[in-house]
A and B are shown apart, each in its own frame.
Chain A
Amino acid sequence: MSEKRKYKKRFCKYCEAKVDFMDYKDVGALRFSLSERYKIMPRRLTGNCKRHQDMITIVIKRARAAALIPYTVTRKAVVTAPFENLK
């Protein structure tokens, strides 16, 4: 139920926080828009607005290039707390 609720509300989390700029080095902040296999979550599930979705997409791709977050995670490597092992 709570899982469903998370995506039912349609408002942009970043608009609410008035985010103007995202830093690709701040990995924890990217977590909201990543699935547990490090795919970029679609807008229809997160409720992000177009502007912030475009921003987060660029930032996530930068972080991937910088080896801060993985491109893909195999099914075996998926863990429950994905960002713990990167610190």
Chain B
Amino acid sequence: MRHYENLVIVKPTLTAEEIQSSLAAIEEVITSNGGEIATTDAMGMRKLAYPINKNERGYFHVIYYTIAPAAISEIERRFRINEELLRFVTIKYDTNREIAAWTKLVEKAKKGTTAPKAETEVAAEETVAEVAVEAEAAAE
């Protein structure tokens, strides 16, 4: 078993329920492949640093888990098929020092999810803003 972290960016066009259900599906992919989810951290709706597939924002979600290294390729294959995902980043925590950092991050995420900041951008479409507000409410 090795320690991993996955950051996934979900499409902003979905409603809050759809986002939650797709996140549940993503977590199900990990657990069904023998992974153990330590904790999750919802970073919430954020502005992307650059547009991905013409989307200016996205719902960031971080999952910390342990899994056998062989299962990662299967998970990434499933993520690539998933059309609700804009982007995913898989990070491996291998050395002792990194694992210590991993446990520290898990503790930090358990204490309180990094609270999504209040939306300051008024320029975004109303639907997107509504989704963000709903997502925030769901995250709390």
Interface size class of B (residues with CB under 8 A): 20 to 34
B62 touches A25 (CB 8 A): yes
Interface on chain A toward B: helix, strand, loop, or mixed SS? loop
Please tell me which stretch of B31-39, B41-49, B124-132 contacts chain A, meaning at least 4 of its Cβ atoms lie within 8 angstroms of it. B41-49
Q: Mark B49-68, 1 if CB is under 8 A from A, else 0.
A: 11010000010001000000
Q: Which residues of B are found within 8 Å of A24, using beta-carbon distances? A: 91
B89 touches A66 (CB 8 A): yes
Partner of A86, one of B49, B52, B91: B49
Q: How many residues of A contact B (CB 8 A)?
A: 17
A2 close to B (CB within 8 Å): no
Q: In the assembly, what is the distance between CA of A64 and CA of B51, in Å?
A: 12
Q: Which residues of A are found within 8 Å of B25, using beta-carbon distances? A: none
A52 close to B (CB within 8 Å): no
A-B pairs with lowest CB-CB distance, top 4 = A21-B101, A70-B49, A67-B48, A66-B89
Query: Which residues of B approach A to under 8 Å, CB–CB?
Result: 7, 9, 43, 46-50, 52, 58, 62, 86-87, 89, 91, 97-98, 100-101, 105, 117, 120
Query: Which residues of A approach B to under 8 Å, CB–CB?
Result: 20-21, 23-25, 62, 64-71, 85-87
In the complex, besides A20-B101, A67-B50, 7 extra interface pairs with C-beta distance below 8 angstroms are A23-B105, A65-B89, A67-B48, A67-B86, A85-B47, A86-B46, A87-B117
